[in-house]
A and B are shown apart, each in its own frame.
Chain A
Amino acid sequence: KQEVTQIPAALSVPEGENLVLNCSFTDSAIYNLQWFRQDPGKGLTSLLLIQSSQREQTSGRLNASLDKSSGRSTLYIAASQPGDSATYLCAVKSEGGGADGLTFGKGTHLIIQP
């Protein structure tokens, strides 16, 4: 059974710093990996989707990488801002047929200090 782990569970950094969030998964047989953002009491917003054949995706100040063979992904946030404060979730879509759902990590709670 797929398991997704995110490290660290919480992170607090001053504004302007570059930072890296880590995600690991136990079964490398995946279709894709997604990074989401969740604000308190709200739903999830998709940030980046990386297909299994890709190595990275970029959107603005965000860059996500995928090393499928080692079961790892990182989310890099450049020049962090207070508005980046949120919980960041990593999720994988495993192979195996059917439209099964995503397996989520428990998230990294990020606070950017002004």
Chain B
Amino acid sequence: DVKVTQSSRYLVKRTGEKVFLECVQDMDHENMFWYRQDPGLGLRLIYFSYDVKMKEKGDIPEGYSVSREKKERFSLILESASTNQTSMYLCASSPLLATQYFGPGTRLTVL
């Protein structure tokens, strides 16, 4: 079975902190994605990557950056966390043009 893991299920940070969210997949998938999910807004794509060291902005990249140094790992970085970044963050991976497999999510609260 495909497994996508995220480093934390719950995270509490303070405004202005630098935050790292880690995602690891074990199926050698080319593509990896970061989404955030908010009530009433649904899932929105933040960034995606189609290869090591490659990244593309999604619909809402402002305030975020990403890093993909190894194929299996895709990190989401909040350079200076703000309260409006309190959300559920979901990582996914997929082969090209195939189904996406999601991790369990990280619920981030920024105080």
Given A41-B107, A42-B105, A45-B102; A102-B42 close (CB under 8 Å): no
Which of B72-111 touch A at CB < 8 Å? 90, 92, 96-105, 107
Q: Is the interface of A mostly helix, strand, loop or mixed?
A: strand
Stretch of A18-26, A65-73, A92-100 with 4 or more beta carbons under 8 angstroms from chain B: A92-100
Flag if B97 contacts A100 (CB, 8 Å): no
For residue B42, which residue of chain A has the nearest CB?
A106
Flag if A31 contacts B97 (CB, 8 Å): yes
Which of A34, A41, A42, A107 is within 8 Å of B42, CB to CB? A107
What does the 1/0 interface line of A97-114 toward B look like (CB < 8 Å)?
A: 011111111110000000
How many whole Å from A34's CB to the nearest CB in chain B? 6
Interface residue tally on B, bucketed by range: 20 to 34
Cβ of A91: which chain B residues have Cβ within 8 Å of it?
Answer: 43
Which of A22-47 touch B at CB < 8 Å? 31-32, 34, 36, 41-46
Could you list 16 examples of A-B contacts with CB < 8 Å?
A41-B107, A42-B104, A43-B4, A43-B102, A46-B100, A46-B102, A91-B43, A99-B30, A99-B48, A99-B96, A100-B48, A101-B33, A101-B58, A102-B43, A104-B44, A106-B40
- Please report B residues at the A interface, Cβ cutoff 8 Å: 4, 30-31, 33, 35, 40-45, 48-50, 56, 58, 90, 92, 96-105, 107
* In the A-B complex, the 6 residue pairs with the closest CB atoms: A99-B50, A101-B45, A106-B42, A43-B102, A44-B102, A104-B43
